[in-house]
Amino acid sequence: MLSQNTIEIVKSTAPVIAEAGPAMTAHFYERMFSHNPELKDIFNLTHQQSGRQREALFNAVHAYAANIDNLEALLPAVEKIAQKHTSFQITAAQYDIVGTHLLATIDELLSPGQAVIDAWAEAYGILASIFIDREEAIYQESEQQTGGWRGKRMFELVEKSRESDVITSFVFKPADGGAVMPFKPGQYLGIYLKPEGFEYQEIRQYSLSGAPANDRYRISVKREPEGKVSNYLHDHMQTGDRVELVPPAGDFYLQAQADTPVTLISAGVGLTPMLAMLESLTEQRASVNWFHAVENGSHHAFAEHVSQLCKQHEHFNSQVWYRIPDAADKAESRFDHEGLLDLNAVKDTISDPRMQFYFCGPLGFMQYIAGQLKALGVDDSRIHYECFGPHKAL
C-alpha cells in the first residue's frame, strides 16, 4: 500500500509532469534507448517515430498519477496493457529499466527534489508489481492450456492467400507438429521477425482472422505503404518459411451469449477480428449484423466468404458500404450503400436494447461510429472496440 504522504506528493506533482508531457516522454525514450539499446528489439520504432508510443506512455503515467488513490479505476487499462506486454514478452527486469529512466527523466527535467523522486519511485514500484503479477498470470495461463506454450515458438507458413489488392492472409502451423492453444475471437497473435536487412527485431500483433482451430492460426495483413513488416510479409514470406510466434492475447474479444444479438462493424482491414467473431457466431440463435465499409471492390477482402456465410445462416445480415465504387462495382452490385457507413440507414436492425456492438477500423472511423452509436442511444456498456497500435479512448 502506498503511504498517504506518497499519494499527496504524486497527486500534487502530477500537473507539473502533465505540463512537461511531450518533452518528458521524448527525453525518457531517448535516454532509455541510449543506455539500453537492446530495447530497440522490443519497442515498435515506427510508433516511436510517429509519436504514438510516446503519447501512450504519457497518457498512462498521467492516468496513474490522477488515480493513485483509486487504483481500481485503472484495472481495465492495466488489463489492456498487460495483454499487449505479454505479446512483447516483457519481463520484470525490463520494468526495472523503465523505472530507472523514468525517475531519472523526472529528476533531470524538473529537478523536483529527493522527496518527490522517492514518492514517484514508491508509486512506480507498486504499479510495476501490479503489471508484473498480472503478466506472469497470463504467461502461466497460456502455458497451461492444451496446445499452449510460453515464450516464442517456431511456426511454418503453410498457406498464403491474396484476399484483395491490399490484404493477404497467412496460415501458420507449429513446426513441431503439435496443437495450438485456443483463442477468443477478436484476439491477436504476436509475430517476431528479423530477416536479413532488418536492423532490429520487429514485433507486430495481427488480429486472428478466422474461428479457432486446433492446429493452425490465420492472420490477414494489409500492406501499408511505409509498413516495414507488412511489406516484408507480402513480398518475401513464402510457404515453407518459418517464423516465431507468441501465444494469442488481447482483451478485445467476443463475449456475447447465444441469445444476445450482435452487430459487427468494420472498415478496411479492421474486418479481421470481426471475421473471427462472425465465423464463431454460426451457432448463434439471435440476429447477427455484419456492417463493413471499404473503398471499393478491389480493396474488399473476404467478400465472397462473408456472402456465403450469410446465405448459409439465416440469422446473419450483411450490409456493405463502398466509399468510391467503380463502374464494375456498380454493374455487378457488389455493395449495398455508397459513401460513408451510416447507421441511420440500418437503424431498424440495431434497435434491440440487448444488442452488443463490436467494431474495429481506422481511428477516425471508430470515433465516427462511436458518435453514431451514442447518438442512437447506445450506452457505453454495449460498445466494444479495438485500436490497432497504442490504445485510444473514443
Q: Which three cell numbers stand for residue 290?
A: 455484419
48 annotated as a binding-site residue: no
How far is 137 from 141, CA to CA, in rounded Å?
6
49 annotated as a binding-site residue: no
**Active-site choice (29, 135, 139, 217):** 135
Active-site residue 159, yes or no? no
**Angle between helix 114-144 and helix 4-35 axes, rounded to 10 deg:** 70
**Cα 359 vs. chain centroid, distance in angstroms?**
12
245 annotated as a binding-site residue: no
270 annotated as a binding-site residue: yes
151 annotated as a binding-site residue: no
Q: What DSSP designation does 223 have?
A: P
285 annotated as a binding-site residue: no
198 annotated as a binding-site residue: no
389 annotated as a binding-site residue: yes
| Radius of gyration in angstroms for the set of CA atoms belonging to the chain, rounded to a whole number | 22
List 192's β-bridge partners, or say none. Answer: 203, 244
190 annotated as a binding-site residue: no
Question: Which three-class secondary structure state does DSSP give residue 335?
Answer: coil
360 annotated as a binding-site residue: no
Q: Which three cell numbers stand for residue 359?
A: 467494431
Specify the amino acid at residue 52: R
Asked if 336 contacts 321 with a C-beta cutoff of 8 angstroms, the reply is yes
For residues 210-237, one letter each, b for 16 or more C-beta atoms within 10 angstroms of the residue's C-beta and e for the rest, the string is bbbeeebbbbbbbbeeeebbbebbbeeb
103 annotated as a binding-site residue: no
Active-site residue 135, yes or no? yes
**Angle between helix 75-87 and helix 52-66 axes, rounded to 10 deg:** 140
**Active-site choice (29, 64, 95, 124):** 95
250 annotated as a binding-site residue: no
197 annotated as a binding-site residue: no
How far is 330 from 121, CA to CA, in rounded Å?
62
Q: What residues are designated binding site for NADP(+)?
A: 268-273
Annotated binding site for heme b: 85
Binding residues for FAD, by number, are 188, 204-207, 387-390
Tell me the catalytic residues. Answer: 95, 135
